[in-house]
Amino acid sequence: MYREMTTDELQEQLNQGVTLNLIDVREPDEWEEGHIGSARSIPLSQFQARAHEVHDVEGEVVFICRSGGRSGRVCEFLTLQGFDVVNVAGGMLAWQGEIVEGK
């Protein structure tokens, strides 16, 4: 089973300067509507082809999507392969911090 964190816990870690490898698995149109500034976009529809990019950045691997469902599926998939990953419960719907619009 994968670990989860709340959006408040995510905000706290980002505020403390904790190095996180935050990956947003929403599709490009959702990403452009608003995302967390330090996140990287690897849309779920492209995930299998781009899975090798997950570990290209240092820090704990944390996944987020709109509500936590898609990112949870990615976490389940990677956990079965032996990776230690974290899902953001509630996703961007629960995020109260700043967002960046556009690409």
Full set of structural domains in the chain with CATH: 3-94 (3.40.250.10)
pLDDT at residue number 103: 72
Q: Which residues of the chain have pLDDT under 50?
A: none
Catalytic residues: 65
Residues 6+ apart with CB under 8 A from 19: 58, 59, 60
How far from each other are the two terminal CA atoms of the chain, in whole angstroms?
Answer: 32
This prediction has a pTM of 0.96
pLDDT at residue number 56: 85
